[in-house]
A and B are shown apart, each in its own frame.
Chain A
Amino acid sequence: MSWELFLDPSLLRLAVAMSVPLVLASAGELLMERSGLLNVAIEGMVTLGAAAAFLASFAAGSTGLGMLAAALSGVVVAAVFAHYAVAWRQEQVTVGLTLYVLCLGLSSLLYRVVVGVRLTPPRVETLQPVVLPVLGWLPVVGEVLFHQHALVYLSAAVVAVVHLVLFRTSLGLRLRAVGENPVAADTVGVDVFRLRKAAAAAGGALVGLAGASLPFTLTGTFTEGIAGGRGWIALMLVIFGRWTPVGAAAGALLFAYVEALQFKLAMVSRAVPPQFLQMLPYAFAVAVLVRASRGARAPEALGKPYHREARA
């Protein structure tokens, strides 16, 4: 085994592809957290998005429709979450965990109702790589970055848009203000409740799309454990990226690299039992969070319900 294995272009290309669900989910979670909503249902929402995408594609034969269904499922769950958290001021982690369980159950239930019991699990069409003109012709870089499927390009665009909206528009300024100091934001006429609900809906759509990327780019099938902790890891990536979309996306690439490397190592090495290699990304995630937690500062009002009549 040589060091070249670690920089193999096909490995890097796989890592970029595998970063898609992490990039989209962490961008969605980040939008919500910046507005002050801590949504821990995200693992369930990724699973539900995957189920919705798979089932819509299975029933209607259209990948585009599948993505729409996934995004919609994310919006619906996030809207329910926001209503409990914002209007009813319920404890956000409790609501999030309940919705997490609901989404997991609902995903398998819908799958069972639509697909039924079969000997071999049905497959749907997966996205094919699109070679970008000019950029795709470059050596190595072209192969790694620009021989990818459409969702890779979309997630890069999402990171750019979320970054610009958050830090270069007045809407973004208001959103961040609501997450840091809702009392002050309210005083100057910002609608805290509406903005939080809107952030939840937009973030929910991205989380749902993250789910869609799993059957459409990685598996072609749906299974109960399809999310495999990616939703939870997106939660960690937001902290890792210090609540910035670019930082979270960089973390997603790093993490996806470890994930892809584990696949590669499993193919090369027979000495280590595969289960220990499979533990690797999760242990790595804990180690990364320990490092990232040092000096991390969350939005001031994260997880705290805003009550107009309560005294500060």
Chain B
Amino acid sequence: MTTEAAARGRWQVVWPYAGALAIALALLAALVAMLGGDAAQALAGLVRSSLGSGAGLGQTFNKTTPLLLGSLAVILGLRGGVFNIGVDGQIYAGAVAATGAAFVLSAGPKTAVLPAVLLAGLAGGAVWGSLPGVLRARLGVSEIFVTVMLNFVAVFLVEYLSTGPWNDPTAGEAITRAIPPQATLPYLWPRAGAHAGILLALAAAAGVWWLLFRTVFGYELRAAGDNPSAALLGGVPVRRAVGLALVASGALAGLAGAVEVSGFHYRLILGLSPGYGMMAILIAVLSRRHPLLAVPAAMGFAALLVGTDSLQRSVGLPASAVFVVQAVVLLVLLATEGVRRGGP
């Protein structure tokens, strides 16, 4: 291939993303104008509040963490041909386990308590992912449905714990008592309010890349996802690989829940995840199921989340608008792919 053709090829990949981003910003501007705000000012404010200031960047980093971990969880499943729609439930399960561990171990030293809390989050998410994993591997039950149902179960569990046994009576809402200081994640950039969770998420992205492309398990998983019957004929334990992928997927999401508790909220709350699981699916597709491309995609979604949060305060843009914008971005991308593929 000549360099010219390669450059053209690269542009063919890039321009749909640029177009989708432009459409997303135009859509946001239109929504702001519809609510009676100044669109140009609002868009400037969106960029300033998410990327253009230290505090904004810190918030974007903090939001990138659960989005990146969540999308890595989805990617791990997608590579094996399964859809983990239960990231939200697994985040909550991880958060519950992490909070419980923090309460139980409150007397220990920080060097022991913090790792234990994070590990508990991993374990909680893994448990939540293991039920759909086992049902899928052993009985061929649709993981899409089981993971979604477990989201509801997890939310009710959090509601019970946060209003019942772990409730903070002084707060009065669906909020638990604060976790002890030994269980909290240190700041990475104290002035911007960014905690160290982003480092864990980046390490996880590298780890998932390594797992998928440099290990036997990753090879088997990808084979199972690309062509299960061929993989089976080639001696790949397809069911085991897919089941384990769902467990590992749950563990990653559970870690996100633990980080939200120990790095951001310092307690378990109902509404800990404002739909991270749904956004994680979009990010996974947007990054073409590649764990390293998920890093910029998650950061972009995080910036959008932080930016629209500021628009919520300034012009009353509802929180749900961010879902519309993110989904439209993906629909535009899928459409450009579809048009290029041509008609039936």
Residues of A within 8 A of B (CB): 40, 43, 80, 84, 86-90, 93-95, 97-102, 104-109, 112-113, 117, 193, 224, 228-229, 232, 235-236, 239, 273, 275-276, 278-279, 282-283, 285-286, 289-290, 293-294, 306-308
Cβ-defined partner of A98 (8 Å) among B285, B338, B341: B285
In the A-B complex, the 7 residue pairs with the closest CB atoms: A88-B338, A105-B323, A108-B320, A102-B327, A275-B160, A105-B324, A112-B318
Report whether A113 and B148 are in contact in the complex, using a CB–CB cutoff of 8 Å. no
Q: SS class of chain B's interface: helix, strand, loop or mixed?
A: helix
Q: Is B233 part of the contact surface with A, judged by Cβ < 8 Å?
A: no
Q: Tell me, in angstroms, the Cα distance from A273 to B279 when the chains sit together.
A: 32
Report whether A109 and B320 are in contact in the complex, using a CB–CB cutoff of 8 Å. yes
Q: Tell me, in angstroms, the Cα distance from A117 to B139 when the chains sit together.
A: 48
Output the nearest chain A residue to B322 by Cβ-Cβ distance. Answer: A105
Report whether A87 and B320 are in contact in the complex, using a CB–CB cutoff of 8 Å. no
Report whether A224 and B320 are in contact in the complex, using a CB–CB cutoff of 8 Å. yes
Cβ-defined partner of B156 (8 Å) among A97, A275, A293: A275
Q: Tell me, in angstroms, the Cα distance from A142 to B282 when the chains sit together.
A: 49
Q: Tell me, in angstroms, the Cα distance from A289 to B150 when the chains sit together.
A: 13
Output the nearest chain B residue to A281 by Cβ-Cβ distance. Answer: B152
Output the nearest chain A residue to B321 by Cβ-Cβ distance. Answer: A109
Report whether A89 and B341 are in contact in the complex, using a CB–CB cutoff of 8 Å. yes
Q: Is B34 part of the contact surface with A, judged by Cβ < 8 Å?
A: yes
Q: Is B115 part of the contact surface with A, judged by Cβ < 8 Å?
A: no
Q: Is B293 part of the contact surface with A, judged by Cβ < 8 Å?
A: no
Residues of B within 8 A of A (CB): 31, 34-35, 83, 85, 131, 135, 139-142, 144-146, 148-150, 152-153, 156-157, 159-160, 163-164, 275, 278-279, 281-282, 285, 316, 318-328, 330-331, 334-335, 337-339, 341, 343-344
B residues in contact with A236, CB < 8 Å = 142, 145
B residues in contact with A109, CB < 8 Å = 31, 318, 320-321, 324
Q: Tell me, in angstroms, the Cα distance from A127 to B139 when the chains sit together.
A: 42
- 30 CB contacts below 8 A, A to B, read A84-B338, A86-B344, A89-B344, A90-B338, A93-B83, A95-B334, A97-B281, A98-B282, A98-B331, A100-B278, A101-B282, A102-B328, A104-B278, A109-B324, A113-B35, A224-B320, A232-B145, A275-B156, A275-B160, A275-B163, A275-B164, A276-B160, A279-B156, A283-B149, A283-B153, A285-B145, A286-B145, A293-B140, A293-B141, A293-B142
A residues in contact with B331, CB < 8 Å = 80, 84, 98-99, 102
Contacts A232-B145, A236-B145, A293-B142 given: A113-B34 contact, CB under 8 Å? yes
Contacts A235-B145, A289-B142 given: A88-B337 contact, CB under 8 Å? yes
Output the nearest chain B residue to A105 by Cβ-Cβ distance. Answer: B323
